[in-house]
Chain A
Amino acid sequence: MEESGMTLFVVLNKIREEQDPTLRFDFVCRASICGSCGILVNGRPTLACRTLTKDLPDLTTLLPLPVFKLLGDLSIDTGIWFREMSIHTESWVHNDEKFDLTAQEERMDNEIALMIYEAERCIECGCCIGGCMMTNLKPNFIGAAGINRVARFMMDPRDKRSNQKYFEVIGNKEGVFGCIGLLACDDNCPVAVPLRGQITYVRRKMASVGWKMK
Chain B
Amino acid sequence: MILQCSYQKGEDNMQLQKMMTYNLRTDFITEIIQMVSGLLLFLFLWVHMLFVSSIWRGAGAFNVLANFMDRWGLLPFTIMFLIIVFALHIGTVLRRMPSQYLEHKVVWKHAKLIHHADTWSWVFQSITGTAIIILAMIHIAIVSFAGINAHLSALRVQSREFLIFYIVLLLLSEYHASVGLYRVFAKWGFVNRHSMKRILNFISLFMIFIGAITLGILYTLGA
Are A and B a genuine interacting pair, yes or no? yes
Chain B residue contacts of A13, Cβ below 8 A: none
Q: Tell me, yes or no, whether B24 is within 8 Å of chain A by CB.
A: yes
| Known interface pairs A171-B27, A180-B96; A203-B187 also in contact (CB < 8 Å) | yes
Q: Which of A80, A142, A182, A206 contacts B116 (CB 8 A)?
A: A182
Are A203 and B188 in contact, CB atoms less than 8 angstroms apart?
A: yes
A43 to B119, CA, bound (A): 13
Are A136 and B106 in contact, CB atoms less than 8 angstroms apart?
A: yes
CB neighbors of A among B86-117 (8 A): 95-96, 98, 103, 106-107, 110-116
Give the most central of B24, B106, B190: most A CB within 10 Å: B24
Are A171 and B28 in contact, CB atoms less than 8 angstroms apart?
A: yes
Chain B residue contacts of A173, Cβ below 8 A: 27, 95
Bitwise interface map of B from 16 to 27 toward A, beta carbon under 8 Å scored 1, else 0: 000000001111
Are A187 and B116 in contact, CB atoms less than 8 angstroms apart?
A: yes
Are B183 and A181 in contact, CB atoms less than 8 angstroms apart?
A: yes
| Known interface pairs A184-B119, A207-B28; A133-B111 also in contact (CB < 8 Å) | yes
| Known interface pairs A84-B2, A137-B106, A196-B186; A182-B8 also in contact (CB < 8 Å) | no
Are A45 and B2 in contact, CB atoms less than 8 angstroms apart?
A: no
Interface residues on A, range: 35 or more
Are A140 and B31 in contact, CB atoms less than 8 angstroms apart?
A: no
A13 to B28, CA, bound (A): 47
A199 to B32, CA, bound (A): 16
CB neighbors of B among A179-193 (8 A): 179-184, 187-188
Q: Tell me, yes or no, whether A126 is within 8 Å of chain B by CB.
A: no
Q: Which of A63, A131, A168 contacts B8 (CB 8 A)?
A: A168
A43 to B187, CA, bound (A): 24
A199 to B186, CA, bound (A): 10
| Known interface pairs A140-B1, A171-B28, A174-B8; A42-B186 also in contact (CB < 8 Å) | no
Are A85 and B9 in contact, CB atoms less than 8 angstroms apart?
A: no
Are A131 and B187 in contact, CB atoms less than 8 angstroms apart?
A: no
Q: Tell me, yes or no, whether B70 is within 8 Å of chain A by CB.
A: no
Are B2 and A206 in contact, CB atoms less than 8 angstroms apart?
A: no
Are B183 and A180 in contact, CB atoms less than 8 angstroms apart?
A: yes
A196 to B115, CA, bound (A): 19
Q: Tell me, yes or no, whether A6 is within 8 Å of chain B by CB.
A: no
Are A174 and B2 in contact, CB atoms less than 8 angstroms apart?
A: yes
A210 to B33, CA, bound (A): 13
* Contacts A/B (CB < 8 Å), 9 sampled: A88-B2, A131-B114, A133-B119, A168-B8, A168-B24, A172-B28, A181-B118, A188-B114, A206-B28
Known: A44-B116, A169-B9. 13 other contacts (CB 8 A): A80-B1, A84-B1, A133-B111, A139-B2, A168-B9, A177-B27, A181-B183, A182-B122, A196-B193, A199-B187, A203-B188, A203-B189, A204-B189
Nearest 6 interchain pairs by C-beta = A200-B189, A181-B187, A210-B28, A181-B186, A43-B113, A173-B27
